[in-house]
Amino acid sequence: MPENPFKRGRYGLLKIIDLTIPITHGMPRFPRYYIPSVELQPTATHEKERRSIHRLVIGTHNGTHIDAPFHMVPDGTRIDEVPLESLIGRAIVIDLSNKEPRAEISSKDLMHASSKIRAHDAVLIRTDWDRMWGRPEYFTDQPYLATDCAEWLIERRIRALGVDFSSVDNPSQVKAGEVPLVHRRLLENSVLIIECLANLRSVTKSTVELISLPLKIVGSDGAPARIVAIE
């Protein structure tokens, strides 16, 4: 294979780190009937049509994605209405990679980062749970946030919370037809939620620039996104 001509490790003097899980045909998904399975299949090939085109079927919450307030709030902001200023900017990375499976993350765990967090920052919680991607436990045994953690972040008026696991709420406690409280509290306070981040262990600084761009899907509750950190 020739070297990828697009391959560049740096943006000028800055390092760019991809925090996105790759989108693949049949990729793992949260085991709920309302999360569709991802299909990625060719509709044109170089052999026949002399070009390559694919059909992509994906839910608005598959893989690395952003939740818009409308996900949990009936009259909440839709993903296409979220301003770019809420999607790009400073982010604080909090290392909780010592957390055990099914561990609850409380406001106490975030306290040490308190002085760094400013209004309108994004907060990224690193647990390294993305190492479990591809195993069934990824969706069942993940760490999750306590409600007091959501309240603590809301008080700090952050613009977004990113996590390297599949749901900010405890997946084993959220039943169909019930409101997942951590989601609900964050989204009704205009804190965007970025779920299924990956590779936060590659970030070496505690403050980075975050670029998180969801697909501009009109009226949507969320969208798959490419998320990168620049340090």
Q: Are 109 and 220 in contact (CB under 8 A)?
A: no
Q: Considering the complex, state which of residue 32 and residue 108 has its C-beta at the smaller distance from Zn ion.
A: 32
DSSP H or E run through 92: strand 88-95
Q: Considering the complex, state which of residue 6 and residue 34 has its C-beta at the smaller distance from Zn ion.
A: 34
Q: Looking at 67, 109, 130, 169, which residue binds Zn ion (CB under 5 A)?
A: 67
Gap between the Cα atoms of 208 and 54, Å rounded: 34
Site string for Zn ion, 187-206 (x = CB under 5 A): --------x-----------
Gap between the Cα atoms of 17 and 211, Å rounded: 10
Residue range at the interface with Zn ion (CB under 5 A); choices 42-50, 66-74, 130-138, 206-214: 66-74
Residue range at the interface with Zn ion (CB under 5 A); choices 63-71, 115-123, 142-150, 158-166: 63-71
- β-partners of residue 95 are 126
Write the burial class of residue 14 (CB in 10 Å: 0-12 exposed, 13-18 middle, 19+ buried): exposed
- Does position 183 interact with Zn ion (CB under 5 A)? The reply is no
Shortest spacing between CB 96 and Zn ion, in angstroms: 20
Q: Looking at 19, 20, 58, 61, which residue binds Zn ion (CB under 5 A)?
A: 61
Backbone angles phi, psi at 176, to 5 degrees: -55, 135
Q: Considering the complex, state which of residue 127 and residue 166 has its C-beta at the smaller distance from Zn ion.
A: 166
Backbone angles phi, psi at 195, to 5 degrees: -115, 160
Interacting residue ranges for Zn ion, rule: CB under 5 A: 61, 67, 195
